């Protein structure tokens, strides 16, 4: 992808080589609650602010010509959070999916998701599917949201898929597994970021990273 003169200048100013940019950046978006609490506010305020950070991250990745950005939005473990917080997050997600549709189209982003559909409310699934549908032919960056995602469950689903295909055991190799994951066909992440300063993987993209 051709970078604008402005982007090239900003890269040069930061001492970055455009040829060495990652193809696929994956982000574990953590620390929303602490961010808010440190400012004497409710955790949900941090989630609202997080949406703003997501927007600027997406814009910057588009400018840099990053091929794929994968954002960890909600893990299967997150269902253990208080019901009120879960409801807030799901409402926020739905609104986000609707509100960003225009931006997705303007930036030529191809929208996609990874995770299990089972367990997600219909009102979330509907907006998710609509974003996938309208952006399917876009040719810019792929934005992949991990929603109701678990790396272990992804492996379980992959094994189920492979077993259902009834392939002989000795024909199964790394490629078979890669192709059975939710991320089939996507480039593997070459940069994983976790915000909030912790080093945990929290069940994210276990095979891919």
**Interface with Mg ion by CB under 5 A: which residues?**
30
- Scanning residues 38 to 97, which ones bind ligand IPE (CB under 6 A)? 72-75, 78, 89
d(CA 38, CA 117): 34
Q: Which stretch binds ligand IPE (CB under 6 A): 3-11, 29-37, 90-98, 102-110?
A: 29-37
Name the helix (H) or strand (E) containing 112.
strand 110-114
Name the helix (H) or strand (E) containing 191.
strand 191-194
Q: Which residues contact 120 (CB under 8 A, 6 or more apart)?
A: 90, 128, 147, 148
Closer by beta carbon to ligand IPE, 85 or else 172? 85
Q: Are strands 110-114 and 24-28 parallel, antiparallel or unpaired?
A: unpaired
Of 33, 115, 151, 189, the one binding ligand IPE (CB under 6 A) is 33
Provide, rounded to whole angstroms, the least separation between the CB of residue 45 and ligand IPE: 11
What are residue 17's phi and psi, to 5 degrees?
A: -90, 115
Of 34, 99, 152, 160, the one binding ligand IPE (CB under 6 A) is 34
* Residue 93: closest CA among 108, 109, 78: 78
The reply to whether 202 sits near ligand IPE by the rule CB under 6 A is yes
Q: Are 75 and 145 in contact (CB under 8 A)?
A: no
Q: Are 152 and 206 in contact (CB under 8 A)?
A: yes
Provide, rounded to whole angstroms, the least separation between the CB of residue 75 and ligand IPE: 4
Q: Which residues contact 160 (CB under 8 A, 6 or more apart)?
A: none
Provide, rounded to whole angstroms, the least separation between the CB of residue 132 and ligand IPE: 20
Of 29, 69, 109, 205, the one binding ligand IPE (CB under 6 A) is 29
Which of Mg ion, ligand IPE, none does residue 75 bind to, with CB < 5 to 8 Å depending on kind?
ligand IPE
Closer by beta carbon to ligand IPE, 31 or else 65? 31
The reply to whether 150 sits near ligand IPE by the rule CB under 6 A is no
Where on the chain is the footprint of ligand IPE (CB under 6 A)? 28-34, 72-75, 78, 89, 196, 200, 202
């Amino acid at each position: 992808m051709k970078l604008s003169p402005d982007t090239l200048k900003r890269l040069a100013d930061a001492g970055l080589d455009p040829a060495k940019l990652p193809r696929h950046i994956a982000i574990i978006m953590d620390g929303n609650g602490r961010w808010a609490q440190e400012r004497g506010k409710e955790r949900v305020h941090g989630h609202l602010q997080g949406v703003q950070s997501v927007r600027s991250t997406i814009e910057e990745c588009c400018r840099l010509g990053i091929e794929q950005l994968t954002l960890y939005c909600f893990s299967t473990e997150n269902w253990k959070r208080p019901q009120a917080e879960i409801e807030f997050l799901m409402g926020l997600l739905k609104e986000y999916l609707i509100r960003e549709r225009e931006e997705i189209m303007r930036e030529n982003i191809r929208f996609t998701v990874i995770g299990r559909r089972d367990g997600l409310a219909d009102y979330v699934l509907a907006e998710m599917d609509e974003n996938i549908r309208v952006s399917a032919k876009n040719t810019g960056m792929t934005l992949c949201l991990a929603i109701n995602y678990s790396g272990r469950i992804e492996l379980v689903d992959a094994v189920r898929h492979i077993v259902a295909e009834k392939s002989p055991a000795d024909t199964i190799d790394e490629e078979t597994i890669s192709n059975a994951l939710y991320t089939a066909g996507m480039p593997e992440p070459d940069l994983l970021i976790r915000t909030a300063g912790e080093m945990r993987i929290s069940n994210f993209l276990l095979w891919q990273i």
